[in-house]
């Protein structure tokens, strides 16, 4: 399949805590590489509103978003190509969140993984199901949908745990389009991109590298020394130097792979099979990672020494992002009915439901000098035709009586039913007029 031009790719990173090597290998490095592809328009942002859901320590919130911004910039993000911003600098996002909240079914939110996990844990502990659950946690997927839909992203690279959220964003987009679009698609339906071939970096103990397992290797924290010490703690088997070692399934080897060329990988494996000592293997791993990370670290350190530069970069990013978000939001406000009263160009007023059309009596004078009346059906065709009257008054009195009494007055009235018209249709027409008269 050929790629459509200007695919929009968007991803957010929740700003709690500091980044580790797994974040770099699994998210930052591939995202930056992808942003350099032709035909791709990338949006990367700090999900700092999402961070507030998990953390109520202001210092930590602020520190983390600064560090994460510096990390992305140090890793080579080109902000002239990529729109890079803080979620909290885009007021259109929480505004869109509310518009979406109003069309999101609560039942669907009940099934969101993060919320389900919390209620399941509460149930297991015999607690109230919603104990400790904030509305922020509950509505988390709607804020995330707004992040994505605000910029009409086609693709959202995420971890597997986030796929459900992208599906929810699609649902709510579809619902909004359907309710308010009047044939127009305000929102692109986003697709999750789960990178199958980006290795999940194992941690020190071989499980997935994660802060919550306390098994991570810091990216910049602690400098080269910190990196070296962490690598020294990678768990290996207890084979002695000189003993042949099986490289497969070793966390150390998988981490090595994430930074090595194909040739280096092959040599590393061969050396281990030939008895390379674990201590020496760790030194080689350190050298390999350090070669890639050291230049980033020094850029990171100089950025961290000048937070005002990061601030300026992010404000430029926010301006770029808002140039897209604001017009779309203005359109959405119109669509849902939040419109200016003073606007000169009003959206066309909805056509009022036409009054139920009624049959009509018409009075007129013919060339013979006589006065006549007739009854036309609601659709305009002739139902009744009177005879001629000498005076208009007399004709008018018959019309009034027919309106009042309906079909009951028919027998006496000096008129005839038009050709081909059923008596029942005449009766129905007169009944409709009678009802209107009585109303
Ligand atoms: N929820 C995501 C995470 O925890 C972060 C995030 C917030 C995000 N908004 C987003 C990711 C929009 C992709 C798109 O990883």
Domain 211-305: CATH class, spelled out: mainly alpha
The whole-number pLDDT of residue 151 equals 98
Per-residue pLDDT at 356:
63
Query: What are the tens digits of pLDDT across the range 338-380?
Result: 999 986 655 555 555 445 678 999 999 988 999 999 999 888 8
Structural domain 7-194, CATH architecture = 3-Layer(aba) Sandwich (3.40)
Q: Which residue has the tokens 């890793």?
A: 75
CA distances from 132 to 58, 141, 188, 295 (A): 19, 18, 35, 43
Per-residue pLDDT, 3? 45
Beta-carbon contacts of residue 403 (< 8 Å; ≥ 6 apart): 361, 430, 433, 434, 437
- The pTM (predicted TM-score) of the whole model is 0.74
Consecutive H or E run containing 264: helix 262-273
Confidence at residue 5, expressed as pLDDT on a 0 to 100 scale: 59
**Enclosing H/E stretch for 58:** helix 58-74
Cβ-contact 254, 198 below 8 angstroms: no
Distance of CA 63 from the midpoint of ligand 1 (Å): 19
Collapsing DSSP to helix, strand or coil, 155 comes out as: strand
254 Cα: distance to centroid of ligand 1 (angstroms)? 26
Give the atom of ligand 1 at the shortest distance from the alpha carbon of 157: 13
Q: What pLDDT shows up at residue 380?
A: 84
Task: Kindly give the parts of the chain with pLDDT less than 50.
Answer: 1, 3, 353-354
Q: Is 38:76 a contact under the CB 8 Å cutoff?
A: no
Ligand 1 atom with least separation from CA of 159: 15
Helices (H), 337-379: none
Domain ranges of the chain: 7-194, 211-305, 307-438
pLDDT recorded at residue 211: 82
In 3D space, the residue among 182, 158, 187, 160 whose CA is nearest the CA of residue 171 turns out to be: 187
- Phi, psi dihedrals of residue 106, rounded to the nearest 5°: -65, -35
Torsion of CA 257, 258, 260, 264, to 10 degrees: 0
| Residue 386: how many other CB atoms lie within 10 Å | 22
- What residue owns the CA closest to ligand 1's atom 9? 144
- In tens, the pLDDT along 151-194 reads 999 999 888 889 999 999 999 999 999 999 988 999 999 999 88
- On the 0-12 / 13-18 / 19+ scale of CB atoms within 10 A, 306 is exposed
């Amino acid at each position: 399949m050929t790629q459509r031009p200007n695919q929009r790719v968007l991803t957010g990173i929740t700003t709690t805590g500091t980044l580790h090597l797994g974040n770099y290998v699994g998210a930052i490095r591939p995202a930056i590489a992808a942003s350099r592809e032709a035909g791709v328009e990338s949006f990367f942002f700090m999900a700092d509103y999402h961070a507030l859901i998990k953390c109520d320590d202001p210092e930590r919130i602020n520190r983390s978003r600064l560090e994460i911004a510096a990390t992305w910039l140090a890793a080579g993000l080109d902000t002239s190509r990529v729109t890079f911003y803080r979620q909290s600098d885009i007021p259109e996002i929480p505004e869109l969140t509310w518009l979406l909240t109003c069309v999101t079914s609560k039942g669907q939110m009940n099934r969101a993984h993060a919320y389900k996990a919390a209620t399941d844990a509460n149930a297991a502990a015999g607690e109230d199901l919603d104990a400790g659950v904030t509305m922020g946690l509950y509505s988390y997927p709607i804020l995330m949908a707004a992040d994505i839909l605000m910029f009409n992203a086609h693709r959202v690279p995420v971890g597997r745990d986030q796929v459900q959220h992208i599906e929810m964003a699609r649902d709510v987009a579809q619902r909004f389009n359907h309710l308010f679009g009047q044939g127009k698609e305000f929102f692109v339906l986003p697709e999750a991109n789960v990178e199958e071939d980006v290795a999940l970096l194992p941690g020190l103990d071989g499980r997935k590298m994660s802060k919550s397992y306390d098994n991570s290797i810091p990216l910049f924290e602690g400098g080269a020394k910190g990196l070296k010490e962490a690598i020294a703690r990678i768990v290996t088997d207890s084979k002695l130097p000189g003993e042949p070692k099986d490289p497969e399934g070793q966390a150390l080897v998988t981490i090595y792979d994430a930074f090595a060329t194909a040739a280096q990988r092959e040599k590393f494996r061969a050396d281990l099979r030939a008895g390379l000592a674990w201590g020496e293997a760790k030194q080689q791993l350190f050298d390999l990672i350090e070669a890639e990370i050291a230049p980033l670290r020094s850029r990171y350190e100089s950025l961290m020494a000048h937070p005002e530069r990061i601030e300026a970069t992010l404000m430029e990013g926010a301006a770029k992002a808002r140039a897209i978000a604001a017009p779309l939001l203005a359109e959405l406000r119109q669509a849902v009915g939040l419109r200016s009263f003073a606007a000169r160009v009003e959206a066309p007023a909805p056509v009022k439901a036409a009054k139920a059309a009624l049959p009509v009596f018409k009075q007129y004078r013919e060339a013979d000098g006589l006065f006549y009346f007739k009854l036309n059906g609601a659709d305009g065709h002739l139902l009744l035709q009177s005879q001629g009257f000498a005076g208009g008054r007399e004709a008018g009195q018959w019309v009034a009586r027919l309106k009042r009494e309906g079909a009951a007055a028919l027998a006496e009235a000096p008129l005839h039913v038009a050709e081909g018209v059923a008596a029942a249709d005449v009766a129905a027409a007169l009944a409709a007029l009678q009802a209107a008269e009585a109303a």
